[in-house]
């Protein structure tokens, strides 16, 4: 819901940073992989209940996620790069609630499982429509420089990161935050399935 606004805010600083990184010879795919490694470091930090340290790695991961796209627009957008980016993004998104589950399984297990389950809904509906939109030549006017169609919804990347930040700042409230955000994700899933079906229907 907020991605179209947040992208406008971060586009300029990311573009300027990407120009400097590009001069160093760093590629978009290298940035994607490096960002994923940083994001994975949040996992042991969460298990150790070092939530602020985990937050640092989460933020660094998201910065790299923005930088790889900005670099790709300079170096050339590729299907392979887009595939790598979206695959590692979804793995990262599931890794964070799983870390909270392992940190406190007695309290967080069911809520964490519900949230990861909801991510399956948002992710599968998002990717399924992107495949069909590509086959039919449907373009998203908001995200023209993406490697695949970005289907909007109530919960997008901006909302997900805000949720992860809330988890780290208020870890004792993980359960309620996970249930609320998971419910919002299911709303996104159902609206995507409904609108996607009617968009693609002959």
pLDDT of residue 46: 98
The tens digit of pLDDT for each residue in 148-202 reads: 556 677 888 889 999 999 999 999 999 999 999 999 999 999 999 998 888 888 7
E-strand stretches of 7-52? none
User: What confidence tier does 141 reach under pLDDT thresholds 50, 70, 90?
Assistant: very low
DSSP code of residue 172:
G
pLDDT of residue 139: 67
Q: Which helix (H) or strand (E) holds 180?
A: helix 174-200
Per the structure block, which two tokens stand in for 110? 């069911």
Share of the chain above pLDDT 70, in %: 91
Q: Which segment, 18-27, 105-114, 126-135, is predicted with the most confidence on average? A: 105-114
Q: Which segment, 16-20, 50-54, 135-139, 146-150, is predicted with the most confidence on average? A: 50-54
Sign for the CA dihedral angle at 63, 145, 147, 114 comes to positive
Distance CA 79, CA 55 (A): 30
Going along the chain from its start, the domains and CATH numbers come out as 3-200 (1.20.120.1760)
């Amino acid at each position: 819901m907020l991605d179209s606004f947040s992208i406008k805010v971060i586009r300029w600083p990311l573009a300027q940073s990407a120009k400097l990184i590009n001069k160093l010879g760093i590629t978009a795919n290298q940035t994607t992989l490096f960002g994923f490694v940083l994001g994975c470091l949040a996992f042991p930090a969460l298990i150790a209940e070092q939530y602020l340290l985990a937050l640092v790695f989460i933020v660094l991961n998201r910065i790299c996620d923005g930088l790889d796209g900005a670099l790709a627009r300079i170096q050339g957008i590729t299907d392979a790069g887009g595939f790598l980016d979206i695959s590692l993004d979804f793995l990262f998104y599931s890794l964070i609630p799983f870390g909270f589950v392992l940190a406190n399984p007695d309290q967080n297990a069911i809520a964490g499982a519900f949230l990861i389950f909801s991510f399956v809904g948002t992710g599968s509906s998002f990717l399924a429509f992107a495949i069909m939109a590509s086959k039919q030549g449907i373009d998203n006017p908001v995200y023209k420089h993406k490697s695949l169609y970005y289907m909007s919804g109530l919960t997008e990347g901006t909302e997900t990161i805000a949720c992860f930040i809330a988890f780290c700042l208020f870890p004792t409230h993980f359960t309620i935050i996970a249930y609320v955000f998971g419910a919002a994700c299911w709303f996104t899933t159902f609206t995507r399935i409904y609108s996607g079906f009617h968009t693609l229907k002959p």
